[in-house]
Amino acid sequence: MRVQNPIIWADFPDPDVIRVGDTFYMVTTTMFVTPGGPILKSKDLCHWEIVSYIFDIIEDNDIYQLKNGKNAYGKGQWATSLKYYQGMYYACFVCNDMHRTYIYYTDDIEKSGWNRYVIEGIYHDMSFLFDNGKPYLIYNCGDVRIAELKDDLSGVKEGGINQLLFSTPSENMRLRCEGCRAYRINGYYYLLFIEWPSDGHGRRRVICYRSKDLLGEYERKILLDDDMGYHNQGIAQGAIIDTPDGKWYSILFQDHGAVGRIPYLLPVSWSNEWPVPGIDGKVPESFDIPFERYEAKPLIISDSFNHDEDKMDLRWQWNHNAERGCWSFVEHPGYLRLRTQSLAKDILSARNTLTQRTAGPKCAFTVELETEGMKAGDYAGLAAFQSNYGIVGVKADDSGSKRIVIAKKDSDVQQRDEEYALLAGECIFLKIAFDFENSRDMAMFYFSKDGIGWTKIGSNLHMLYTLDVFTGYRIGIFYYAEKEIGGYADFRNFRYEAV
C-alpha cells in the first residue's frame, strides 16, 4: 500500500500510538471540546477512524460550562500518554486549568467513558513507562523528571522514585525538550521529545535521549529536523511503534496554519541502536508500507440529523460541556433542535455549539436552518470557529424581522455584524467554504433560498491559528440568545464536501 503524507490533513495533534495484536490505537488532543480524548483505530497506520472517547466531560464547573466569564480555551485535555499494560488501557493527561493530572483506565478501549484517578498537581507532557512491573511517569519541560506511581496507578507512590532525570540544553532554545514519549526497547530506555532551537534551522525537531540505566546517564541525539518545505514548521512530537513483523514507524505532527496540527507517517530504521525516522533525514512525501488498506470510517461526516434517538455520532463534539436538555433529534423529527437556557455575548461565550474538524486542502459545509422559534436578539447559523471567527446565519431583531448576517471577530475586536439581508420566510440554507491550500487560510460565506443557487455574503475571513484557543478551525452549528432565553432553532441536512 502506498502512503501519502500527510496521512490526515486535519487537526489531530500530540499523537500517541500503541499496538495491541494487529490493531493500532492512537490518542490525540481536542482540548476543551467534549466528549474528549478521542481514540482512533487503524490496521494500516495510515487510515484511521474514531472508535471512542476517554471522557464525556472532564469537570462540570464554571470553566467547562462557560459560566461567569470562565472558559477552558487553550486548556483542557492535551498531550495524552496512552499505554496497554497487563490487560488494561491507560491514558494520562494534565489539565492546566484544574492544576490536576488525570489517569483514565479501561479494559475496553473501544468503549467511551473510562474510569479515572485524579492526581493533584501538574505532570506536564508526561509519558507512561512500565518497567520491571513498576509504573512511572516521565514528565516536564527542560528539567526532565520521573515519578513512580502506585501499583494500581491511582497516584504517585509515597517513598517511590521521584527525582530529576536530567536537564536539557537551554542556550539558544525557544522551547526546551517536552512532549515525552518513553520506551524500553532491547535493553535501552528511549525518551523522545521535541525541542525548538533559535539557531540552526530554528524549527521544532525530534530529540532522543537513551540510557541502559533508567536513572543513569543519558545520551542525546537529534533524530529529525525537517519541514517538508512548509514555512519552516518542523515535523515533530509523536510516537514510534512496531508492527507484528518487527518493522518500525513513527507518527509525528506539523503546525499547518489555520487547519491545525496535522499528522505524518514515517518509516523508522535503526542505526547503532538509535531510531532513525524518515528517509535520509527527510519526511517522505510517499512510500510503500506492507499493509492492506484499512477501510476506516471517515473522520468528518455529513449528517441528515434524522435520528430516532438523542445520540450524537462520534465525529461531533461540543464546544465545552453541552447544556442538558438543550438539544434533541426527536423533539422535531428529522432536525437537530437547539434551545437556549443561558445568555451569551458572542459565539465564544455561547454554549451548545456543535463542532467538527475542517480539512485541507479545501472543504465546504452546508446546512438548512429553520428560524420560526427564534426570539429577538438570537443568532443561529454556521461558524468558522476559532478565536478569530466568522459566522453566517440569521439574527432576529426587536421588530420581529430576521436578517441574514455575517459577523466576525478579529484579534482584539469584539464581534461585529458585517452585512445584512432581510430573510424572506423562515427557512435559509447556509454555507462556509474553507481554503487551506498553499497557506491561503480563507473562509468564504454564502446563503441560499433553495440550497442550489448560492449568494456570497460579506468579505472573506482570513483565518489565523491562535494559541488562546489552540485548535484548528472547526465548523460549528450554533444558536445563542443575547436578550431572552427559551427560543429554539432547527437544523437539518448538514453536508460536508471535500473539495
- Catalytic residue set: 14, 178
* Contact call for residues 383 and 476 (beta carbons, < 8 A): yes
- Residue 425 makes CB contacts below 8 A (sequence gap 6+) with none
Q: Which DSSP symbol is given to 85?
A: E
Separation of alpha carbons 494 and 246, rounded Å: 44
Q: What is the Cα gyration radius of the chain?
A: 23
Q: Match 441528515 to its residue by C-alpha cell.
A: 304
The C-alpha cell of 127 is what?
Answer: 509519558
Here the cell at position 358 is 475542517
Element (DSSP H or E) covering residue 212: none
Burial of 172 (0-12, 13-18, 19+ CB in 10 A): exposed
Q: Which DSSP string do the residues of 384-446 spell out, in sequence order?
A: EESSS-EEEEEEE-TTS-EEEEEEE--TTSPPEEEEEEEPPSSEEEEEEEEE-GGG--EEEEE
Pair 263, 256: CB distance under 8 Å: no
Please identify which residue in the block is written with the cell numbers 464554571: 62
Tell me the residue type at 415.
Q
Q: Report d(CA 489, CA 499) in Å as an integer.
A: 29
Cα(373)–Cα(104) distance, integer angstroms:
41
Cross-strand pairs, 406: 392, 419
Q: Residue 71 phi/psi, 5° resolution? A: -160, 170
Number of Cα atoms under 13 Å in the Cβ half of residue 352: 23
Question: How far is the C-alpha of 357 from the C-alpha of 204, rounded, in Å?
Answer: 24
Is residue 296 packed enough to be buried (19+ CB in 10 Å), middle (13-18) or exposed (0-12)? middle
Q: How far is CA 451 from CA 427, 447, 493, in A?
A: 11, 8, 10
